[in-house]
Amino acid sequence: MHPYLPHLLSDIESVIKILPPAPYYEVPPHLAEMPEVAEMEESPITTLEELTGIAIDSIPNFYDLTYEEWPLLANAFKRLLEALNITIVDLPDDFPDDAYINLIVCHWHENIQYLPLGGFHLECCTGKEETCPYGEDCIRCGPNALPMPEGFLPPGTGGIFMDDGTPVDPSLVHIPDLCLSCSIYLSEDWEDNILCTLTRMNLQEGEEFECFAYRKELDEPNTPE
């Protein structure tokens, strides 16, 4: 057996048995009855390495493992993601164990959120068969891709999902007038934009829009003539 594998499997099992604590945050009053949405809005960005404490250097490459060792590590990774409530939403059926190990390693440093209540949806398809980790097996961009229901975003452009797994196109979310005077409207920070979109999605027709992250845009300073 690979010398790193027993230690890695033990470390993964330890994380599964004692899960990381849920991120601490204060639930805004307008989200008191929607804990999953509050969790998504307030939980910080992290990575699998930060969340588990398992350094990527301790994970052997799949080609350094034997054929018999592939399912041991692949199944451990699957149990780990299940325990952390992380779902790979575009994973093809019967994806090979060696390819699955490589997929997880390639996403070990990707930005994710730890969402014990609502769960995090990890999308790995890039939308192009040449660069997609699933290649011809991809259910979204491969030659045998399944037809996407109306309203789904093109593969690789998602990131925000409804509870039923339907991706949300941020460009179709209504922008209240309050947002137009906010200092973080159209921010260059992608995290700000995601949080703003999630807040707008909570607006019900006929309700007055409120945002506790609102920061009034500063007037431009006077310039000498």
Q: For residue 47, what pLDDT is reported?
A: 95
Q: For residue 164, what pLDDT is reported?
A: 56
Q: For residue 219, what pLDDT is reported?
A: 45
Q: Are strands 112-113 and 45-46 parallel, antiparallel or unpaired?
A: antiparallel
Q: For residue 20, what pLDDT is reported?
A: 95
Q: For residue 200, what pLDDT is reported?
A: 81
- What secondary structure does DSSP assign to the chain, as a single string? --TTHHHHHHHHHHHHHSPPPPPP-PPPGGGTT-HHHHHHHHSPEE-HHHHH---GGGS--GGGS-TTTHHHHHHHHHHHHHHTTEEETTPPTT--HHHHHHHHHHTTTS-EE--TTT-EEE----S-TTT-TTGGG-TTTSTTPPPPPTTPPPTTS---B-TTS-B--GGGS---HHHHTBTTTT-S-HHHHHHHHHHHHTPPTTSPP--TT--BPPPPPP---
The overall pTM is greater than 0.75: no
Q: For residue 223, what pLDDT is reported?
A: 46
Listed as ranges, residues in the chain with pLDDT below 50 are: 151, 219-225
**pLDDT tens digits, 125-170:** 888 878 899 988 888 888 877 665 554 555 555 556 665 556 666 6
